[in-house]
Amino acid sequence: MSNVRQRKTLNSEAKENKAKEQKNGSSKINKKETENKGFYRHILKRFLKQICGLLFFLYVIIPVFVKTNPWIHSKMVFLNMVRWPPFIDLTKPWEFGLRGARNFYLDVNEESRIGVWQILANSSVEEGGDFDKLLGNGKKVILYLHGTTGTRGGWHRVQLLKLLASLDFHVVAFDYRGYGDSKGHPTEDGVVEDGYFMYKWIKERSKDSSVILWGHSLGTA
C-alpha cells in the first residue's frame, strides 16, 4: 500500500511539475512575443518620425527659408558659387595650353565687369599684330557662351576652345557677371546683357567675318 501511495504521489508531483513547466514555457513565449511587438512598434514610430521630419524640412523649412531670403534665388538658378577647378589663374590662358590667347576685362556697365579670353585661330597665331584687328582677318569668329557653374577655365571648356581654334576659328569666351573673376551679380537680364554686349564688341571688330554663337545650357537661353 505504501508503494502505491508513493507512486501516486510521485505521479502527482510529476504532473504538477510538467504543468508548471508548460505554464512557464508559454509565459516565456508570450513575454518574448510582447517584447518583439514592442520592438517593432518602436522601430515603426522612429521611422514615421523621421519621415515626418524630412517632409517638414522639405515642404516647410526650405520654402520659408527661400521665401525670406530672395538672394538665394539667383544662387540656386545660376550656381555661380560652384567653381571647379578651384584656385586657377584666369589671367593667364596660355597656362591652360591655349596658343595665341589673351585675357582682358570689359566694363558692360557700372555693375558688371567681365573677364574675357580671346583665342586666335591656329593659322593666325604666327601672324602676330593687334588682337582686335586679327578678328577681322577673314576667319570666322565663335562667341562661346558657357553654362551654369564653373568658369571659362573649366577643363571641358578649355578642351572645346582648343578644338575650335584648331579648326581655324577665332574664339572669344567670357564669364558672365558673378562668374569666375567677373564682377557683379548674375540675373536673367544681366547675363543676356553680357552676352549681347560681347556680340556687339566682336561685330565692331570682325568687319565682314561671320560671327557664330556657340551656347551651352545657360548660354543657349
Judged against a pLDDT cut of 80, whether residue 7 lies above it is answered with: no
Average pLDDT over residues 66-72: 69
Report which residue type is found at 110. Answer: E
Average pLDDT over residues 148-164: 95
Number of neighbours of residue 115 by Cβ within 10 angstroms? 22
Residue 154 is placed in which grid cell?
573649366
Judged against a pLDDT cut of 60, whether residue 79 lies above it is answered with: yes
Judged against a pLDDT cut of 90, whether residue 168 lies above it is answered with: yes
Judged against a pLDDT cut of 60, whether residue 29 lies above it is answered with: no
Burial code (b: 16+ CB inside 10 Å, e: under 16) for 143-162 equals bbbbbbbbbbbbeebbebbb
Instruction: Taking the CA atoms of 23, 28, 31 and 37 in sequence, report the sign of the dihedral they define.
Output: negative
Judged against a pLDDT cut of 70, whether residue 208 lies above it is answered with: yes
* Cβ-Cβ contacts under 8 Å for 115 (sequence gap 6 or more): 90, 103, 104, 105, 152, 174, 175, 180, 181, 182
Residue 1 is placed in which grid cell?
500500500
What's the CATH code, domain 93-220?
A: 3.40.50.1820
User: What gap in Å lies between CA 102 and CA 96, rounded to an integer?
Assistant: 11
Segment 98-143, tens digit of pLDDT: 999 999 999 999 989 999 999 999 999 987 778 999 999 999 999 9
